[in-house]
Structure 1
C-alpha cells in the first residue's frame, strides 16, 4: 500500500518541480510557458480518507505544508481505494492524473493562465470510472465548503478511462458517442474540460 502522506508531501512536489526544471531546460523555446508556470502562486488541497494535504506553489515551485499559503483554488477528494488506484497509475507524472480526467495525455502544466481559467469554475464534479476495478473522486473548484452532493458528475467505463489517459480518444467525440456520461451542471464540466485541455 502507498502512504498518502509520502505521496503528496514528497512525490508530487518532486515530480511537479522536475517538470519545471524540464521546462527551464528548453531555453528560449519554452520561455513563454516557463514564465507562465513561474507566475503561479496558489494552493491545491488534497483530501484522502479525511486527511488533508496542502500543496503550496510559489513562483512555480511546489512545497507541501500543513496549512495553505493561499485559499485553495482546487481540492481533490479521494477515498483510500481511489487514492491507491491513482497513485499506482501516476508513474513519473502525478500531475498527469488531472489531465487524464479530461483526455489530456501526459503532464498537465499548471500555468497562471490555466489557473485563472480554472478559477472561473465554481462547484464540485464527481468523476467515476465504472467496473470491478472502478473508482470515484471529487474535484472541487474554489475555497468554499465542499457540498454533500456534487454539482455535476462525469462517468466513463474503465476502457474509455484508459484511452482518455493515453490520449487515444477525442473527448468531445466520446461525449457525443455516449462514452462519457455527464449529469448535472454542464457549464461547470465544460469550464473544467476547456481549462484543462487549452494549449499552454
Structure 2
C-alpha cells in the first residue's frame, strides 16, 4: 500500500469518524483506492464495490481533503470523476465539508 493511500485512510477516518451511511470508493490515480462505508475507512481492493466511485489524481484528492477544493467544484471542473449514485457522492461531500 502506498503512503498516499495510508494518509488518505487516516485523513478520511479523522473526518468521518465511525463510518458513513453508504459506500464510496475513492480511486487515487497511480496510487490505489480507499473504501468508505458504515464500518469505517480502509484501503480498497479491485474487488470492492461501492454505491459511487470517485476518481481523481493525488493532488486533487489532497486538495479536497484539506478543504482547499470543494468536491462539487472539482467535479464541475473535471478534476473529479464520478461513476454511480450522485446522491451518495453529495452526502459524502457534505460530510467532508
Please say if 1:154 is aligned against 2:54: yes
Structure 1 residues 165 and 148, CA, compared in 2 at 3 Å: closer, same or farther?
Answer: closer
Structure 1 residues 149 and 166, CA, compared in 2 at 3 Å: closer, same or farther?
Answer: closer
The TM-score with structure 1 as length reference comes to 0.37
Deviations 1:20-45 (A, max 9, x none): xxxxxxxxxxxxxxxxxxxxxxxxxx
Q: 2:23 aligns with which of 116, 124, 128?
A: 124
User: What is the root-mean-square deviation in Å for CA atoms of aligned residues?
Assistant: 2.9
Which is worse superposed, 176-185 or 165-174? 165-174
Secondary structure of 1:163's counterpart equals helix
1:185: how far off? 1.0
Greater relative contact order: 1 or 2 (C-alpha under 8 angstroms, separation 6 or more)? 2
1:148: how far off? 5.3
Tell me which residue corresponds to 2:89: 189
Secondary structure of 2:15's counterpart equals coil
1:109: how far off? 7.2
Structure 1 residues 195 and 166, CA, compared in 2 at 3 Å: closer, same or farther?
Answer: closer
May I ask how many residue pairs the two structures share in their alignment?
89
Secondary structure of 2:35's counterpart equals strand
1:188: how far off? 1.2
1:125: how far off? 1.2
Structure 1 alignment gaps of length 5 or more: 1-80, 100-106
Trace 1:70-81 onto structure 2 (pairs within 5 A).
81=1
Find the aligned partners of 1:171 and 1:195 in 2 and give their Cα distance: 11
The TM-score with structure 2 as length reference comes to 0.68
Find the aligned partners of 2:91 and 2:74 in 1 and give their Cα distance: 17
Find the aligned partners of 2:16 and 2:34 in 1 and give their Cα distance: 21
